[in-house]
Amino acid sequence: MFHVDEEWSRVHVGASAGALALEGVTNPSHHPVLEAEKAALEESLRSRFAGDDRRDIAELPVFQAYAAYYKRFRKTYQVQAQLESVALRGKAIPQVGALVTAMFMAELKNGILTGGHDLDTLALPVRLKVSTGEETMTLLNDREQQLKAGDMYMGDRTGVISDVLYGLEKRTMIGPATTKVFFSIYGVPPIPAQTIRSHIDDIVEYIRVFSPRADVVLKEVVG
C-alpha cells in the first residue's frame, strides 16, 4: 500500500514521513463529542501560548524545521499560520467533516503537515517521492499546479495526491461518504520519526471519538 523511493531517502536526509490508513470510519458533518474535544484543544492552545506572539511560536523546533524547508522555495508554512490564528487571535478551528476536523486538530496540536484522502479513490500503491518539477496536480480550488523540483510528495498510479508546498490534490479528497481514509504525513528534517508516530496516534485517537470501530490497516513511519 505504501512505498518509499530510494531517491527520497537520499535527497531528504534527516526527514521523516508517515502513512496511516483506516477502514470502517464515518464522516459526520457534526459530532458533539468531537466538538467538545475541539473546544478543549482550542482552549489548551490559547493557554499554552498565552502572552506569546508569533515569534515565540516560530522558535519552536518543529516550526523552525518547516520554516527552513519552506524558505528554500520562498514559501511559508501554512500550519504555523493556522496555529497563530487559533492560539493568538482566538479563531475557532474550522467546522468541516469529522475526518478533516480530526486531521486539523492533530496538525495544530503537533505542528505536523498532514493530508487526508479517501482511500477508495487511490490507485495503490502510494509512493513517497522527490519531485522533478514536471509533475502537476489539481488543487482543491481547481487550479492546475506544477510542483517545484526537489519537493517531497506522495503519488499513486494515477498521479500526485499531495505534496509539502501545495497541499492536497482534489481527485482524492475526503467526502461525506468516505468510509476508508488515508493520511499522508510529512516531517521535514530534522523532525524525528517518533514525533510522526505520536502524531499518528493522535489522529487515530481523534477519529475513534466518532468512529469507535475504525480499524487501522496501515501505520508506517519512515526516517
The span from the CA of 134 to the CA of 120, in Å, is: 26
Tens digit of each residue's pLDDT (9 = 90 or more) over 122-170? 999 999 999 999 999 999 999 999 999 999 999 999 999 999 999 999 9
Pairing of strands 2-4, 126-130: parallel
- Looking at residue 85, what is its pLDDT? 97
Task: Tell whether omega for the bond before 189 is within 30 degrees of 0, i.e. cis.
Answer: no
Q: Is residue 52 part of a domain?
A: no
pLDDT, mean of residues 54-68: 97
Q: Is residue 189 part of a domain?
A: yes
Q: Is residue 36 part of a domain?
A: no
Q: Is residue 114 part of a domain?
A: yes
- Of 90, 106, 86, the closest CA to residue 98 belongs to 106
The span from the CA of 122 to the CA of 42, in Å, is: 33
Q: What spatial distance separates the first Cα and last Cα of the chain, rounded to whole Å?
A: 18
Q: Which residues contact 17 (CB under 8 A, 6 or more apart)?
A: 4, 8, 128, 152, 184, 185, 186, 187, 196, 221, 222, 223
pTM: 0.97
pLDDT, mean of residues 74-78: 96
Residue 27: burial class (beta carbons within 10 Å; 0-12, 13-18, 19+) = buried
Give CA separation, 6 vs 11, 85, 162, in Å.
9, 38, 19
Q: Quick one: pLDDT band at residue 17, thresholds 50, 70, 90?
A: very high
- Mean pLDDT value across the chain: 97
Residue 25's domain spans which residues? 2-29+96-222
Q: Quote the number of domains for the chain.
A: 1
Q: Are 150 and 163 in contact (CB under 8 A)?
A: no
Q: Is residue 194 part of a domain?
A: yes
Q: Is residue 73 part of a domain?
A: no
pLDDT at 53 over 90: yes
CATH of residue 171: 3.50.40.10
pLDDT, mean of residues 21-47: 98
Q: Is residue 14 part of a domain?
A: yes
Q: Is residue 48 part of a domain?
A: no
pLDDT, mean of residues 191-214: 98
- Looking at residue 152, what is its pLDDT? 98
- Looking at residue 95, what is its pLDDT? 83
Share of the chain above pLDDT 90, in %: 99
pLDDT, mean of residues 193-206: 98
